[in-house]
Amino acid sequence: MYRKAFLRTAIGLAIGLAGVAATTSALAQAQHDGSAAKPLRVILVPADGGTEDGTKKDFQPIFGAIGQATGLRFDIKVGQSYSAVVEAMCNGAADIAWYGPATYLQAKARGCSELLALAVRHGESVYYSGIFARTDAGINGVADLKGKRIALGDVNSTSSFNVPVAMMIAGGVDPARQAGSINMAGSHANVLKALAEGLVDAGGASFDSFEKAVNAKALDPSKVKVIAKSTPIPYPPLAIHPKVSDGVKAKLRDAFNNVDKLPGISKDQIRGYGGGKVDGYTAKVSEADMAAAGKMFELVTDTVKTDIMKKASAR
């Protein structure tokens, strides 16, 4: 089932990238200015098991309130994949993106993204990734993952792929060579679903996603345990294209700093990663902090990613 899902994902990704490329070539342009004629184009990663409409609805109240306060106009879309969102930013087809730290750093390295704002919850802008295992799988630590069935999310996902894989390698497990099998499930929710249904023995996902699955009764917490928890990871950032004008950037940063006080939005409507309620946003963000987070991913080289994808597709 998951091989078919992987193939569908790969085909979808290829189609998505082709679509973005075609769109980009047609629109090769300067960045938009937020006017009615050229609204700022916002593109969001397809987040955490939510529907495309659901992900879009999470951010519409925020951009609606900012638009009301600043006069800026927005056109919000959800990308087909993490990679498609990076391509949209780097090919000039988007002005603002929301994606994970790993994908942000990919775009940053290509010169097409700079930090705009991070969500704030309980005074912090961090979350955690974990490796979760079924309690009946005989797994008590990372070393016990050898020979086990493992599920991972999108290859570009920070907390359902890059960080879990880094924790495995740091713990002495080479997933591509020592796991019994690997399912590239495509999302946090699919990883946890596979775990709940006993299709895999362990999987990587964020703690936010785990909590969301438990609250939705999609996962019985008595049947799953945590075998590894990451160090704090910066929340998935909102980023802006460097070519957007300084005046527009200043308006946006001031608005995000005060989004919880703007008219037209209630506290319950301020959402962040995975659709979770957050206290607000801050534009006081540090590229150095985000770069430091990238140290987590250094073990996950392109060769490691390629080997894992090969193992997953060979099932």
Q: What is the CATH number of the domain that holds 99?
A: 3.40.190.10
Indicate if 186 and 209 belong to the same structural domain: yes
Dig out the tokens for 86 from the structure: 């990076």
Mark whether 130 and 273 lie in a shared domain.
no
Q: Which two three-digit tokens encode residue 77?
A: 């879309």
In the predicted model, is pLDDT for residue 304 greater than 60? yes
Q: Comparing C-alpha atoms, which of 274, 133, 123 is closest to residue 191?
A: 133
pLDDT score recorded for residue 127: 92
Q: Is the pTM of this model over 0.75?
A: yes
Check whether residue 305 and residue 185 sit in a common domain. yes
| Whether 177 and 268 share a structural domain | no
Q: Select the more confidently predicted residue: 281 or 58.
A: 281
Does 15 map to a domain?
Answer: no
In a domain? residue 277: yes
**Does any domain span residue 31?**
no
173 shares its domain with 301:
yes
188 with 310, same domain: the answer is yes
- Asked whether residue 52 falls in the same domain as residue 117, the answer is yes
Instruction: Mark whether 56 and 191 lie in a shared domain.
Output: no
Whether 283 has a pLDDT exceeding 80, the answer reads yes
**Residue 81 CA neighbour count, 13 Å, CB half:** 22
Where b means 16+ CB within 10 Å and e means fewer, 243-266 reads ebeeebbebbbebbbebbebeebe
Residue 27 lies in a domain: no
Mean predicted lDDT score pLDDT of the chain: 88
Within a domain: residue 16? no
Q: Say yes or no: 227 and 260 in one domain.
A: no
The pLDDT value recorded for residue 276 is: 83
User: How high is the pLDDT of residue 46?
Assistant: 79
Residues in Cβ contact with 205 at an 8 Å cutoff, skipping those fewer than 6 apart: 129, 130, 132, 153, 159, 160, 164, 188, 191, 192
Which of 87-91, 113-117, 203-207, 295-299 comes out lowest in average pLDDT?
Answer: 295-299
Strand 233-234 vs strand 126-127: parallel, antiparallel, or unpaired? antiparallel
Q: Is the pLDDT of residue 280 over 80?
A: yes
Does residue 17 belong to any structural domain of this protein? no
Nearest partner of 98 among 65, 121, 74, judged by Cα? 74
| Structure tokens belonging to residue 254 | 């001031």
**Could you tell me the CA-to-CA distances from 145 to 51, 62, 166, 229, 258 in Å, in that order?**
31, 41, 13, 15, 45
- Looking at the fold, whether 240 and 269 belong to one and the same domain comes out as yes
- What's the rounded Cα separation, in Å, for the pair 47 and 43? 11
| pLDDT over 90 percentage in the chain | 72
Residue 176 belongs to what domain range?
A: 126-233+297-314
Q: What percent of the chain has pLDDT over 70?
A: 88
166/307 same-domain check: yes
Examine residue 22 and state whether it is found in any structural domain, yes or no: no
Q: Which residues pair with 152 in a beta bridge?
A: 184
> Which token pair is 133?
């295992």
Q: How many domains does the chain have?
A: 2
Q: What does the pLDDT read at residue 28?
A: 44
Residue 291 resides in a domain: no
What pLDDT, on a 0 to 100 scale, did the predictor assign at position 4? 43
The verdict on 192 and 244 lying in the same domain is no
